[in-house]
Structure 1
Amino acid sequence: MTQEFDLDSVIRQRIRSLRLARGWSLDALAARCRLSPSNLSRIETGRRRIALDQLVPIARALDTTLDQLVESEDDEDVVIRPQACRAPGMTSWLLSRERSLHGVTVAKLRITPDHPTDAANLKVHPGRDWFTVLSGTARLHLGERVILVRTGDAAEFSTMTPHVIGAHEGPVEILTILDHNGERTHLPTTTDS
């Protein structure tokens, strides 16, 4: 019952906040969703029970969805609890919500000197890669070039050039943003339990 009451309170607060953010009076929103201003006021203040047949037109008038209006406030939609995925010489943690077909993936990588960086491990894929070094020094093999990227520095490059990231003189931790092709090419897929 308390959880239902809390969600009810959150919905009321969202309606009022969205209305005020648009600079609308109760009368203006009431006209847009075909409710009386007194009914809308009672909904916002908690003196009237919220009914689904009222929420749909209110959500539509506020240019939002019913799902967004009634979504839960628990931490699971905010907090990401990354799990380690391992490959020889590399551990990765996915820091974005889910692997995305058309979006980007954010990951933290810990690369050790035993991560293979020979010519057989150079990768090519469409797009661009970006990373910043959190600690240590990364050794970026980019075609015939070897570029050292140190703590606090970032690198961005075309991935049509054969490339691989390794560790220079000890482990390196990087934060990377990859498109779908980069994710598929660079991130290990086995999760440790």
Structure 2
Amino acid sequence: MTQEVDLDAVIRQRIRGLRLARGWSLDALAARCYLSPSTLSRIETGHRRIALDQLVPIARALGTTLDQLVDAGDDEDVVIRPLPAHAPGRTTWLLSRDRALHGVTVAKMRIEPQREAATDQLGVHPGREWFTVLSGTARLRLGERTILVQAGDAAEFSTMVPHAIGAHDSPVEILTIFDQDGERAHLHVTDDVTPT
């Protein structure tokens, strides 16, 4: 019974939150879902039991689905427990679910310093990339330029410019966001990558 009461409270908060996010008064939402403002007020405050025949027009008026409005959710849809994937000189942890953020992938990478020849291959692909340095110093190669990006700094660039990210002098950890093309170019699993 407690879970049902808690879910009712979540649904009420979602209705009120979505209404306020749109800048609507109770009257404005009531007009859109054909309920009285007093009924909506009592639903939001918990003074009226929520009925399915009321939730459907409320969800429609708020631009959401009934499923989204009543989804109980749990910690498993919130907490991501990334597993490291190893490649020579690089460890990657995927920090987002399958393109959960509108087609982008978030990853943490630890890059070990390597001989310059090992990082001479510059990649090119459509889109843009962004990263911030968590620790160490990143060496960003953009065409003929080499830019050192310190801990706490971020970089954003067009990926149509030939580019590579490496470690400068010591290991570097970065947090990066890739679009679909960037993910395919930088995180595509190959035979030399072994998840652990």
Q: Which residue number in structure 1 is paired with residue 118 of structure 2?
A: 117
What is the CA deviation profile of residues 43-95 of structure 1, one whole-angstrom value per residue up to 9, with x for unaligned ones? 44445443322210111233333233212253344433322222111111222
> SS of the counterpart of 1:13?
helix
Q: Which residue number in structure 2 is paired with residue 164 of structure 1?
A: 164
- Report the count of equivalent residues: 191
Within 5 Å, which residues of 2 pair with 1:76-91?
Answer: 76-91=76-91
> SS of the counterpart of 2:125?
coil
TM-score, normalised to structure 2, is: 0.77
Within 5 Å, which residues of 2 pair with 1:11-30?
Answer: 11-19=11-19, 22-25=23-26, 29-30=29-30
Distance 2:41 2:145 in 1: 67
RMSD: 3.0
Q: Which residue number in structure 2 is paired with residue 34 of structure 1?
A: 34
The Cα of 1:102 is off from its aligned counterpart by 6.3
Q: Which residue number in structure 1 is paired with residue 63 of structure 2?
A: 63
TM-score, normalised to structure 1, is: 0.78
Structure 1 residues 148 and 2, CA gap change in structure 2 (3 angstroms)? same
Task: For structure 1, list consecutive stretches of 5 or more residues without a partner in the other structure.
Answer: none
Structure 1 residues 55 and 113, CA gap change in structure 2 (3 angstroms)? same
Structure 1 residues 155 and 12, CA gap change in structure 2 (3 angstroms)? closer
Distance 2:181 2:165 in 1: 16
Distance 2:139 2:20 in 1: 52
Distance 2:125 2:6 in 1: 48
